[in-house]
């Protein structure tokens, strides 16, 4: 049986569509756990109404504690052999579960990943799909496959995946309620510590609704650099410990680090307390020495790259001071 966990918080406009797509699945051996996280817009009542219609739907009402708390509550209630997460403003195709469970019948694996389709309000969509269907073991011989999943952003959230519940329960893997940004990535990499095999399906059966601009930059996070950099080090450590530290992996990770540095520096004008020590701290990280080998991986003005490589934080301070006076 598959336990589908759906955290619910004030999604009245989209919740019916999400639940309808679940109960219409061609694969029927599942329980659907709706965790109402203190909704105030009528979503709670919608959950209760669906529970009356289908006995596979289980409702948990709790005070608002955030999406991580809701997902953890779902894991606590889950009785299935496998775990699947769906966001309450998204929807899935009728063959979403069967596409993943059928892969298990072919070859036992610890984690199954399929593609997703981003759905924008204007009707446009973007597909993120594994390049090919395959099963592989984590290790040096398959680094390229693992990097591919990261590059396509398919390892950063809990959606479009089928997890083994016994791995989660045995190792007490949970979402951290204290982390509000990047908690999904931390959960996945905790799980990957105990996963030996991964299966990819080069199909998209999950529709990810983009309600805002679709960019992380639309939300101001004053400590974004600290969070991104700490999580980058977690990824680096994982790659190195699991014998994935190939040239392909390093190119991917150092390109990512270039982006983290760039975003952190250009966050400076939006900070309330603008201090030059903020820029100095960013450019003090030891990995900048290694970035010199990957200058072609990231696109930005050459003066920015040179200022980063030579840790010329006063250049950025002067630049932002001039911009502010315009």
Helix (H) or strand (E) holding 205: strand 197-210
Span 286-310, mean pLDDT? 95
- On the question of pLDDT at 326 being above 90, the answer is no
Kindly list the distances between the CA atom of residue 250 and the CA atoms of 21, 245, 322, in Å, as whole numbers in the listed order.
40, 6, 36
pTM for this model (two decimals):
0.91
pLDDT for residue 180: 72
| Average pLDDT over the chain, rounded to an integer | 92
Cα–Cα dist 25/84, whole Å: 13
What proportion of the chain, given as a percentage, has pLDDT over 70? 96
Span 30-59, mean pLDDT? 96
319, 304 in Cβ contact below 8 A?
Answer: no
- On the question of pLDDT at 141 being above 90, the answer is no
Cα–Cα dist 135/109, whole Å: 8
Q: 119-123, 215-219, 279-283, 319-323: lowest mean pLDDT where?
A: 215-219
> In terms of pLDDT, which residue wins out, 232 or 107?
232
Cα–Cα dist 208/120, whole Å: 9
Q: How many helices (H) and strands (E) does the chain have?
A: 13, 10
């Amino acid at each position: 049986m598959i336990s589908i966990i759906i955290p619910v918080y004030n999604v009245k406009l989209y919740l019916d569509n999400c639940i309808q797509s679940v109960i219409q699945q061609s694969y029927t051996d599942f329980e659907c756990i709706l965790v109402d996280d203190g909704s105030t817009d009528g979503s709670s009542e919608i959950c209760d109404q669906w529970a009356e219609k289908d006995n596979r739907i289980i409702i948990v009402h709790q005070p608002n504690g955030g999406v991580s708390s809701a997902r953890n509550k779902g894991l606590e209630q889950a009785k299935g052999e496998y775990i699947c997460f769906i966001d309450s403003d998204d929807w899935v195709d009728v063959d979403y579960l069967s596409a993943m469970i059928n892969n298990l019948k072919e070859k036992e694996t610890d984690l199954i990943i399929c593609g997703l389709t981003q759905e924008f309000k204007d009707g446009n969509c973007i597909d993120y799909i594994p390049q090919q269907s395959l099963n592989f073991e984590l290790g040096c011989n398959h680094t390229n496959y693992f990097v591919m999943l990261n590059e396509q952003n398919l390892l950063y959230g809990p959606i479009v995946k089928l997890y083994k519940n016994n791995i989660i329960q045995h190792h007490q893997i949970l979402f951290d309620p204290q982390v509000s940004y990047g908690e999904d990535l931390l959960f996945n990499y905790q799980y990957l510590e105990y996963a030996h095999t991964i299966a990819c399906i080069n199909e998209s059966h999950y529709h990810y609704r983009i309600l805002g601009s679709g960019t992380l930059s639309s939300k101001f996070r004053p400590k974004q650099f600290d969070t991104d950099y700490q999580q980058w080090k977690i990824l680096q450590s994982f790659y190195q410990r699991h014998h994935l530290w190939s040239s392909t992996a390093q190119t991917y990770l150092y390109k990512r680090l270039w982006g983290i540095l760039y975003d952190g520096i250009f966050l400076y004008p939006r900070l309330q307390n603008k201090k030059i020590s903020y820029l100095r701290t960013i450019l003090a990280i030891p990995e900048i020495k290694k970035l010199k080998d990957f200058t072609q991986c990231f696109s930005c003005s050459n003066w920015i790259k040179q200022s980063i490589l030579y840790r010329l934080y006063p250049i950025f301070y002067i630049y932002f001071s001039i911009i502010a006076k315009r």
